[in-house]
Amino acid sequence: MRSVRYLGLLLVGVALVAAGCGGGGGGGGGGGSSSGPTEPTMYEPGKVTEGKVVIDIQETKFVPQEVTIPAETQVTWTNSDDVEHGVTKQSGPGSDFDSGPLSPGATFSQVLKRTGTYKIADEETKSSEKPKMTIVVEKKSESEPAPGGKEPPPEEPTPGKSNVPPGSQP
């Protein structure tokens, strides 16, 4: 009988140790990167960066409410509010799109390839004043380069002219 009691205590002890070392709760190092923490990629709403632009949905409005982007830019809407929102194309060139309900923290993306004016609304908002926004898509060459950016030199040099930007060494 004594050995059964010791076996029972031993099993309870093993179970407690296993529970203490297991997954739930804080502590324990598991799963991180050995090179240390990394910063998440953050884009400023409305600013085109690397062919992408982020539109935030917060406090039942799109931020920004109007943006001009070059063609072939990936637009990503992020629901930063605590209620469901949506992204529905009301008018503009190309195929229609509708995100359906976006839960808080969810995203929806579209690459806008055609030039023109896109009217977007949040059809998921239950209020009478639904958030709306406008996206103007221009040809790539019409858009200004990013701050600090320069127009690329011509592919082939023009006779009598250099294709190297002034102040640069060939």
pLDDT band with cut points at 50, 70 and 90 for residue 150: low
In whole angstroms, give the CA distance from residue 44 to residue 55.
Answer: 9
pLDDT band with cut points at 50, 70 and 90 for residue 14: very low
pLDDT band with cut points at 50, 70 and 90 for residue 170: low
Name the residue type at position 115: T
pLDDT band with cut points at 50, 70 and 90 for residue 162: low
pLDDT band with cut points at 50, 70 and 90 for residue 49: confident
Q: How do residues 81-107 score in pLDDT, each as one tens digit? A: 999 999 999 999 999 999 999 999 999
Q: Specify the pLDDT at position 130.
A: 86
Tokens of residue 149, six digits: 């950016």
Tokens of residue 86, six digits: 């949506």
Pairing of strands 52-58, 61-63: antiparallel
Is residue 148 over pLDDT 70?
no
Enter the DSSP assignment of 145: P
Is residue 15 over pLDDT 80?
no
In whole angstroms, give the CA distance from residue 66 to residue 25.
Answer: 44
